């Protein structure tokens, strides 16, 4: 038997590794890869697969359990012909507005007419999404990194019970929210820290703030903090998107007193709102942390020269629980405060638009 001396330099964090090796085995040679690192609407991408008769040959499903629900992502690889395969990830597949991202074409030959046709079609879909953004009233976006650099994809507002929003939060939180909305409109830059334990409704609170301030809002996934906050090129990107609101959710791992890397992220974040170029960037930043105690937040972050407010979102008070339960059409007996999600998770809604506190 002939012994192989092939050495592979493998990055275990590369989530396309299995697809790459799968194609290597089929091609009997190292595959070429063309990436289209932008987001696509799920329905548009599925139509693309149908148009070119691309058959799914393998899928990998990843489930992230939440307290009352779960997020389901699915990675798939499909076959166009013997020489071209395409892998992609569908995020939050149980939602109607799920997105397709991390698209990679694995191909045997470096160049071919078939490959160019597929790639150009994907670019046309991407251009269509860009047109949708420019013609849309939506001002809420999610950031991604594509072939041309930083890109934003519209993320529609979640439908929440806005007419009865005051029932879902304590009066102190509502006062802080109202004050913050006025300050964001009044000042051209600033930093706000929103903290509280999981399940108290922080993300839904932020969605309502975004709806009320009439400003382009860009949600930055925590997986891109290193690529954005610590990247000087990101500040150049902000100059073309100035006067915006940046939202950093689930950020306790990056702006906590107990993590050694926190100061690096904190100092770079403060450069955006406190630095010499901050007047040109005109950025407002909302940092959302799943911590109950403000003392767990990096103290340097709280010393920002342009700190607008610190909002501590607490569990619902007993009177609020009673009023909300009556509104939801059920009775809740309690002698202590409860997290919003605990009040909602066993509810039987009566003509209420949708949930608050699940995002």
pLDDT at 1 over 50: no
Question: Same domain for 24 and 163?
Answer: no
Structural domain contains residue 325: yes
Structural domain contains residue 201: yes
pLDDT at 129 over 80: no
Residues in the chain: 359
Considering 98, 113, 135, which residue would you say is the last residue of a domain? 135
Q: What is the pLDDT of residues 34-48, one digit of tens each?
A: 887 667 788 889 999
Question: Same domain for 63 and 84?
Answer: yes
Question: Same domain for 215 and 239?
Answer: yes
Question: Same domain for 73 and 185?
Answer: no
Q: What is the pLDDT of residues 137-159, one digit of tens each?
A: 557 888 887 656 788 877 765 66
Dihedral (CA of 192, 218, 225, 242) sign: negative
Q: Give the pLDDT mean for 1-8.
A: 47
CB 107 within 8 A of CB 93: no
Considering 135, 165, 180, which residue would you say is the last residue of a domain? 135
Q: What is the pLDDT of residues 66-118, one digit of tens each?
A: 555 666 788 899 999 999 999 998 877 876 667 787 788 999 999 899 999 99
Distance CA 315, CA 15 (A): 38
Pick the range with the lowest mean pLDDT from 48-62, 195-209, 287-301, 328-342.
Answer: 328-342
Question: Same domain for 88 and 219?
Answer: no
Question: Same domain for 121 and 150?
Answer: no
What is the structure's pLDDT at 328?
Answer: 85
> Domain range spanning residue 330?
137-359
CB 73 within 8 A of CB 61: yes
CB 212 within 8 A of CB 162: no
Question: Same domain for 198 and 297?
Answer: yes
Considering 89, 105, 135, which residue would you say is the last residue of a domain? 135
* Confidence tier at 206 by pLDDT (50, 70, 90): very high
Q: Count structural domains, the chain.
A: 2
Question: Same domain for 184 and 323?
Answer: yes
Distance CA 159, CA 178 (A): 20
For residue 22, the Cα-to-chain-centroid distance in whole angstroms is 30
Reading the block at residue 318, the tokens are: 């007993």
- Please tell me whether residue 183 adopts helix, strand or coil conformation: helix
User: Taking CA 100 as the corner, what is the angle to CA 121 and CA 13, rounded to the nearest 5 degrees?
Assistant: 115
CB 324 within 8 A of CB 283: no
Q: What is the pLDDT of residues 306-344, one digit of tens each?
A: 999 999 999 999 999 999 988 888 777 888 999 998 888
pLDDT at 229 over 80: yes
Structural domain contains residue 348: yes
Distance CA 221, CA 240 (A): 20
Looking at residue 61, which CATH number applies to its domain? Answer: 3.30.310
Question: Same domain for 149 and 295?
Answer: yes
The pLDDT mean for the chain works out to: 82
Structural domain contains residue 122: yes
pTM: 0.62
Distance CA 205, CA 177 (A): 8
């Amino acid at each position: 038997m002939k012994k192989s001396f092939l050495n592979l330099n493998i990055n275990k964090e590369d989530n396309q590794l299995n697809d790459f090796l799968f194609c290597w085995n089929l091609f009997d040679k190292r595959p070429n890869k063309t990436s289209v690192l932008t987001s696509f609407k799920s329905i548009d991408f599925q139509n693309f697969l149908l148009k070119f008769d691309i058959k799914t040959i393998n899928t990998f499903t990843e489930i992230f359990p939440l307290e009352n629900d779960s997020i389901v992502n699915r990675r798939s690889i499909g076959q166009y012909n013997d020489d071209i395969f395409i892998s992609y990830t569908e995020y939050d597949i149980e939602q109607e507005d799920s997105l397709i991202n991390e698209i990679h074409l694995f191909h045997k030959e470096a160049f071919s007419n078939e490959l160019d046709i597929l790639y150009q079609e994907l670019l046309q879909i991407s251009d269509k999404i860009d047109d949708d953004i420019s013609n849309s009233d939506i001002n809420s976006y999610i950031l991604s990194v594509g072939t041309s650099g930083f890109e934003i994809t519209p993320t529609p507002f979640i439908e929440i019970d806005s007419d009865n929003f005051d029932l879902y939060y304590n009066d102190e939180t509502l006062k802080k929210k109202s004050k913050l909305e006025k300050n964001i409109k009044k000042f051209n830059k600033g930093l706000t820290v929103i903290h509280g334990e999981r399940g108290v409704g922080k993300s839904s609170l932020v969605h309502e703030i975004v709806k009320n301030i009439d400003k382009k809002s860009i949600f930055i996934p925590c997986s891109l903090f290193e690529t954005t906050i610590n990247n000087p090129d990101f500040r150049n990107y902000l100059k073309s998107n100035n006067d915006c609101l940046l939202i950093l959710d689930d950020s306790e791992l990056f702006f906590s007193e107990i993590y050694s890397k926190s100061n690096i992220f904190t100092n770079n974040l403060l450069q955006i709102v406190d630095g010499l170029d901050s007047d040109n960037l005109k950025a407002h930043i909302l940092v959302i942390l799943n911590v109950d105690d403000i003392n767990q937040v990096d103290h340097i972050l709280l010393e920002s020269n342009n700190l607008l407010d610190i909002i501590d979102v607490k569990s619902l008070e007993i009177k609020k629980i009673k009023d909300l339960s009556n509104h939801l059409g059920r009775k809740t007996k309690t002698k202590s405060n409860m997290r919003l999600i605990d009040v909602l998770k066993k509810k039987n809604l009566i003509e209420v638009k949708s949930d608050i506190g699940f995002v």
